[in-house]
């Protein structure tokens, strides 16, 4: 396994729309393993392949708190199960240090392929629901900051550019 570099906003590669995985094979499972290792190392609960400059429809998540329940989502889709919205603040490994409250459906049904290529469906509420929607947005080239006002987006972009300048100096 290997740690992958996580792209940071405003990197344009985060805007790439991921392509569907045509076959779940050993190469895809290696990507999954590397993504899990990267997500755990970064102390995240979700990571989309787009965030590590791999433009295939792959997401990994783990809400256990002790890295014991990894979820693999290959070619994921979701549907809202409620009109009720969450009140959970979102953060992102690609936008470190930024947290914002967004309106997202509080409950969703996910359909995806697992690590072995088997299709499954699961219902999610609360934080897990937000994470599913957030990570699938990444696969579609969208970031949570896109839901914010232009003023907030500009402020975050400037903060991230400054952060990058300070960390690479």
Residue 163 annotated as binding site: no
Strand partners, 108: 80, 124
For residue 97, what are the contacts with CB-CB under 8 A and spacing of at least 6?
159, 163
24 to 28, 31, 62, 165: CA distances (angstroms): 6, 11, 20, 39
Is residue 107 very low, low, confident or very high in pLDDT (cuts 50, 70, 90)? very high
Closest by CA position to 139, among listed 13, 11, 4, 17: 17
Return the domain boundaries, the chain: 12-168
The most confident of 57-61, 64-68, 83-87, by mean pLDDT: 57-61
Q: Which fold has domain 12-168?
A: Peptide Deformylase (3.90.45)
Is residue 169 very low, low, confident or very high in pLDDT (cuts 50, 70, 90)? low
Residue-level length of the chain? 169
Q: Does pLDDT of 167 surpass 80?
A: no
0.85 exceeded by the pTM?
A: yes
Residue 134 annotated as binding site: yes
Buried/exposed code over 78-97 (b: 16+ C-beta within 10 A; e: otherwise): beeeeeeebeeebebbbbee
Closest by CA position to 157, among listed 95, 91, 93: 95
Task: Say whether 79 is catalytic.
Answer: no
Given 12, 83, 84, 135, the catalytic residue? 135
pLDDT digits (tens, 9 = 90+) for 29-49: 999 999 999 999 999 999 999
């Amino acid at each position: 396994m290997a740690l992958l570099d996580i792209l940071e906003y405003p990197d344009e590669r985060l805007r790439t729309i991921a392509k569907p995985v045509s076959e779940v094979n050993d190469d895809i499972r290696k990507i999954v393993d590397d993504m899990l290792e990267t997500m755990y190392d970064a102390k995240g609960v979700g990571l989309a392949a787009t965030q590590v400059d791999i433009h295939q429809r792959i997401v990994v998540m783990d809400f256990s708190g002790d890295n014991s329940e990894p979820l693999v989502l290959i070619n994921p889709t979701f549907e809202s199960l409620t009109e009720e919205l969450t009140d959970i603040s979102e953060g992102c490994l690609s936008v470190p240090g930024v947290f914002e409250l967004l309106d997202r459906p509080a409950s969703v049904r996910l359909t995806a392929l697992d690590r072995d290529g088997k299709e499954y469906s699961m219902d999610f509420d609360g934080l897990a629901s937000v994470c599913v929607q957030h990570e699938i947005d990444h696969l579609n080239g969208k970031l949570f900051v896109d839901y914010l006002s232009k003023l907030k987006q500009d402020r975050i972009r400037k903060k991230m550019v400054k952060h990058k300048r300070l960390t690479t100096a």
